[in-house]
Chains A and B, each alone.
Chain A
Amino acid sequence: AQSVAQPEDQVNVAEGNPLTVKCTYSVSGNPYLFWYVQYPNRGLQFLLKYITGDNLVKGSYGFEAEFNKSQTSFHLKKPSALVSDSALYFCAVRDYSTYSGGGADGLTFGKGTHLIIQP
């Protein structure tokens, strides 16, 4: 079984400071990892993904994430936070080794982290 942990319910950061939203995962095989953002009263938006290759992946709105296999982590980062970054962030995983090409191959999501950027 696969699972995702986001240990922080909420992260508070001052505008202009760097931010980190933590994510750890558990899979039996190889992970494909994703970050999504949900703004109030809006749908989920895809930010970035790690599939293979470079451990540092860059995504939308200046976000990046670092894959660390030994620590089974995929933390989301941004060098300088904006007030408009305030939202709910979800980490998700798909275990490639269990992918069947059909059937139940959806993503497993973490519980989400509220990111609050203070002016």
Chain B
Amino acid sequence: SAVISQKPSRDICQRGTSLTIQCQVDSQVTMMFWYRQQPGQSLTLIATANQGSEATYESGFVIDKFPISRPNLTFSTLTVSNMSPEDSSIYLCSVAGGGPRYEQYFGPGTRLTVT
């Protein structure tokens, strides 16, 4: 399985500011995803990060709030823009092979607190 790292591991941010989270994988992967997990709760898919094109967002998530970049097959960023306390959550990067049979592997997460 791929080794996935995320930066930062945690941060405390002021309301109205933005934070960019980085996800680095130690090998080329076909699929990269971003999830949100509120403390003690389930994971919700934010978007699929597409290499060389715009990300595909799930219902309820928009590009202006969560812009995503994926410049190559090993790296992606998620920005949480104009943050509010409701954005306090754990943000997880995930990778998978290019077919539906592949399991996803998850990074350690970024714990974000907005004050």
A residues neighboring B (CB under 8 Å) = 32, 34, 36, 42-46, 49, 51, 88, 90, 94, 96, 99, 101-112
Of all A-B residue pairs in the complex, the 3 with the closest CB atoms, nearest first, are A106-B45, A99-B100, A44-B106
Task: Check B109 against A43 for contact (C-beta < 8 Å).
Answer: yes
Give Cα A94–Cα B109 distance, bound, in whole angstroms.
Answer: 22
Closest approach, in angstroms, between the C-beta of B31 and any C-beta of chain A? 7
Q: Which residues of A contact B66 (CB under 8 A)?
A: none
In the complex, are the beta carbons of A104 and B47 less than 8 A apart?
yes
Smallest distance from the beta carbon of B65 to chain A beta carbons, Å? 17
Q: When A and B form their complex, what is the total count of cross-chain residue pairs whose Cβ atoms lie within 8 Å?
A: 66
Q: What are 5 contact pairs spanning A and B, CB under 8 A?
A: A106-B35, A107-B104, A109-B43, A111-B42, A112-B41
The answer to whether B101 touches A32, judged by C-beta atoms less than 8 angstroms apart, is yes
> Chain B interface residue count: which class?
20 to 34
Complex Cα distance, B109 from A34, in Å, reads 20
Contacts of B101 in A (CB 8 A): 32, 49, 51
Partner of A106, one of B94, B98, B108, B109: B94
B103 interfacial contact with A, CB 8 Å:
yes
Q: Which of A49, A101, A105, A106 has the most CB of B within 10 A?
A: A106
Are A96's CB and B100's CB within 8 A?
Answer: yes
Q: Which chain B residues numbered 66 to 115 have a C-beta less than 8 Å away from chain A?
A: 92, 94, 98-101, 103-109
